[in-house]
Each structure stands twice: as C-alpha cells, then as structure tokens.
Amino acid sequence: MNSPELFYSLLKIISALAVTVGVMIVVAYLFKKIVKKGGGVINGGELIKTLSVKYLGAKSSIMLIDVLGNIMVIGVSSSKISLLTEIVDSESLEQLKEVQEQKGKSVPFSGYLKGLLK
C-alpha cells in the first residue's frame, strides 16, 4: 500500500467511527428526553411518589410510596419487589402528613447550633 491509499483508508475509518459515536450520542440524548417525559402525570403531580427509603443492606430496602393517594410499604431486593402492607389507618396517615410537612420546613444551620448550645 502506498501512502495516499493508507491516508484515505485511515480517513474512512475515522469518519465511520465519528458517525457511529455521533449516532450513539444522539440516541442516548433522545432516550433520556423520552424517559424524562414518560411516567404518568396528572395535573402537574406525579402518579407515584417515593416518600421515604430505608436501606437495609447492599441490595435491599424498604420504601414508603404514594400511588394515587394510597400509601404502601414495599420491600425491594435484588430479585423482587413485594408489598409489605398498605397504610389505611387515618391516624397513621395524619402522622405521616405531619412528618412530611416538617420535612418540607428546613431548619437553618443556626437553629441546629442554638439547639446544641441549650
């Protein structure tokens, strides 16, 4: 092979690689955009909300989720997801709402310092 043929072959390989990588980037971008738009939304709110997660081990956790206003406790492991219980007790639901409201109110760092000094 002489030098011009080698140069053109190298140029073909590099351009094919650039096109392939470019297509992969575009597909990944579009996939991200579609996934973000996906998932049902009603009146600007989410259908499924994760309220709390407690990790138990490397690949297991307990989650408190809200699905269309129903509060459920589910167990998540590496191999399956199972419903542990559904919270229907009105007292527990009120307590949960209070905890969520307090969670929404952030305490400034100075508040923590004042608490430590007392």
Burial of 96 (0-12, 13-18, 19+ CB in 10 A): middle
What is the arithmetic mean of pLDDT over 47-54? Answer: 83
Residue 101: pLDDT band by 50, 70, 90 thresholds?
confident
pTM equals 0.47
What is the arithmetic mean of pLDDT over 29-44? Answer: 66
Residue 75: pLDDT band by 50, 70, 90 thresholds?
very high
Domain, as residue range, for 91: 41-117
Inside any domain, residue 74: yes
Inside any domain, residue 1: no
Q: What is the percent of the chain with per-residue pLDDT over 70, rounded to a whole number?
A: 81
Inside any domain, residue 9: no
Q: Identify the residue with better confidence: 46 or 40.
A: 46
Inside any domain, residue 54: yes
Inside any domain, residue 112: yes
Rounded to 5 degrees, φ, ψ at 21 are -65, -40
What is the arithmetic mean of pLDDT over 15-26? Answer: 96
Predicted local distance difference test score (pLDDT) of residue 40? 47
Rounded to 5 degrees, φ, ψ at 72 are -125, 150
- Provide the mean pLDDT of the chain: 81
Residue 41: pLDDT band by 50, 70, 90 thresholds?
very low
Inside any domain, residue 111: yes
Residue 66 predicted with pLDDT over 80: yes
Structural domain count of the chain? 1
Inside any domain, residue 72: yes
Inside any domain, residue 36: no
- Our measurement of the distance from residue 75's CA atom to the centroid of its chain's CA atoms, rounded to an integer in Å, reads 17
Residue 68 predicted with pLDDT over 50: yes
